[in-house]
Structures are given as C-alpha cells and as structure tokens.
C-alpha cells in the first residue's frame, strides 16, 4: 500500500480514526534531513510488503502540533499506533531496527491473513476503475470490498468482477465465500485484459485459470483455491467471470393471476479475496544469476 503523506495536523487525527484495528506506522521526517532521505526507500518498500498496516509520512515542519504532541525531537523518528494508542518509538535511520518494529506489529499473520506469507490485496485495488457487471444496484462493489454488504447478481446467476491494481502484483490464491446454493461454482479467471470483458467474450475466451468451488465455499471463512502461480507473476488487473452457481442457476416458476413468471436464481457472494504480494516488495538482492556473468548481453 502506498505511503500516505499527511497534509496537516487534522489529517493526522483523521488517519488515526480511520485506521480501525490496523496498525499505523508513522515516519516523522523533514525535507532538509539527510538520514530521512536515506531511509525513505526502505520505508516505502515496507509499506508494499506489509499490506495489513497503514504507513504515514509526517513532515515535522508542516504538522508542528502533531510533532510536539508526540515528543518528536529528532528526525527521522518512527512510531507505531494501534487503535489510536502509541505503542512503540524508534529514533534514527536504522533499516534493520525499522523492519523489526514493523514486523512486530504488522506481519502477515498478525494482519489476519488466511494464507501464510501472503497478503490480502484488496488495499491495492484501484477503486475508481473496478467494475461489476450484472451486479445488483443495491449491493455496489465498493461496499462489498469494504465488507459492508454481500455482492448479489441481478437478473441471473452470472457475474463479472473486474479488479485493477494500482501497482503490479503477484497473485497466489483466491478465496470465495457464498450463500448456500447461491454460492459460485465455476469461475473463469482472466488477467491483464485491456478492458473489462463482456459476457459473450467471457463465455468463449480461454481463461488464465478455471476455478471450481464446492459447498466448502459456503462454510466458515469460505474456500481458498491456490492459483497456478507461474501464470500470475505480474498482474495489473484480474477479472472473474462467475459462470454458474451451486444451485445451477435453476429457473423458479411462479404463477400470479394466471400469468407464468420466470425468475433465475442469482449468485450471492459474502467474500471475494485475492491473496498475493506487491512486486515492489520483492528484494532484488535475493535474485541470483543463473547463467552468464554480470554485464553479459542477453
């Protein structure tokens, strides 16, 4: 998740209140501070690695009241806040110390990830560009991703969900939880399409991977299916075509005043979670040359 530059003292208070249970990692910095500039890339990299936390950058010359209230006297100073309370403070441009502090409060297991070593990528979805085709107007996609409603299809069981990311990611697995026989059964997954696919093309196009869910997706936290990881190494957008549901999209027949009414069983999602990591979180020092020598042409 990108580092948030705090605008002023009131904005800092707003960020604390909006964070909910997520830990907040704060970098108190100054534009004239050399050590601050030195450690800034490391702070940015940690924000992309630990997606379960919120990372704030506070300019001490802009947010003087906040700086004074929290006793900041040297830069850089890093603080961790949890539920609005200050938990820990670290002074100085110490990369190893900073990472240890962040990991203590914001590692993937502490952030509630259901997949070991992977993060919920919802925070990296571009909310302005995402789409839901054949979604019910009463269950908008933004509210669904925030956990404030279920996502329900409109006139039949089919549904397309398009999730563009604001930076490239590696996708590891997909979690789906549905409601009884309204839960998705067959789901086509597409990546890096130039625009949101329509239903005609989705039905005929070969997916990057086809997922099939069973009634496990209606129980507990839902059903997690790992992806063919090699195919999902550089994902800029991911699209889901829910082709049918466990109920099979059965037609319901009703009679009203001698008129036959047909209604298709809709699909209803409680959760749709993409797990993975941001590409920018990868440490290039961990890569090893497998052939040739440094400087060789390829």
63 is catalytic: no
Phi (first) and psi of residue 216, to 5 degrees: -60, -30
Within 8 A by CB and 6+ apart from 211, the residues are: 174, 176, 186, 187, 188, 189, 225
Q: Which residues contact 79 (CB under 8 A, 6 or more apart)?
A: 25, 26, 28, 70, 86, 87, 88, 89, 90
Q: Give the Cα separation of 106 and 78 in Å (integer).
A: 14
In the numeric block, which tokens belong to residue 272? 């749709």
d(CA 64, CA 68): 6
Q: What is the DSSP letter of 8?
A: S
36 is catalytic: yes
List 33, 136, 149, 155, catalytic entry: 33
Active-site residues, by number, are: 33, 36
């Amino acid at each position: 998740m990108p580092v948030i530059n705090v605008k002023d003292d009131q904005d800092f208070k707003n960020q604390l209140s909006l964070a909910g249970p997520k830990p907040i990692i704060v970098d108190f910095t100054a534009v004239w501070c050399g050590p601050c500039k030195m450690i800034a890339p490391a702070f940015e990299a940690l924000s992309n690695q630990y997606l379960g936390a919120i990372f704030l950058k506070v300019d001490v010359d802009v947010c003087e009241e906040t700086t004074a209230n929290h006793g900041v006297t040297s830069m850089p100073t890093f603080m961790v806040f949890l539920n609005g309370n200050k938990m820990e403070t670290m002074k100085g441009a110490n990369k190893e110390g900073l990472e240890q502090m962040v990991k203590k409060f914001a590692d993937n297991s502490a952030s509630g990830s259901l997949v070991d070593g992977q993060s919920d990528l919802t925070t990296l979805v571009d909310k302005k560009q995402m789409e839901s085709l054949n979604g019910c107007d009463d269950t908008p996609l933004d509210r669904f991703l925030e956990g404030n409603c279920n996502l329900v299809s409109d006139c039949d069981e089919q549904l397309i969900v398009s999730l563009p990311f604001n930076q490239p990611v590696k996708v590891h697995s997909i979690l789906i939880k549905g409601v009884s026989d309204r839960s998705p059964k067959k789901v086509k997954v597409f990546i890096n399409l130039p625009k949101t696919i329509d239903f005609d093309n989705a039905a005929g196009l070969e997916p990057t991977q086809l997922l099939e869910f069973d009634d496990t997706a209606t129980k507990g936290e839902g059903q997690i299916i790992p992806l063919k990881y090699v195919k999902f190494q550089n994902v800029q957008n991911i699209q889901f075509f829910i082709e049918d549901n466990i109920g099979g999209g059965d037609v319901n027949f009703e009679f009203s005043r001698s008129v036959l009414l047909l209604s298709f069983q809709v699909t209803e999602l409680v959760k749709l979670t993409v797990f993975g990591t941001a590409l920018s979180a990868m440490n290039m020092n961990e890569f090893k040359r497998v052939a040739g020598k440094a400087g060789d042409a390829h």
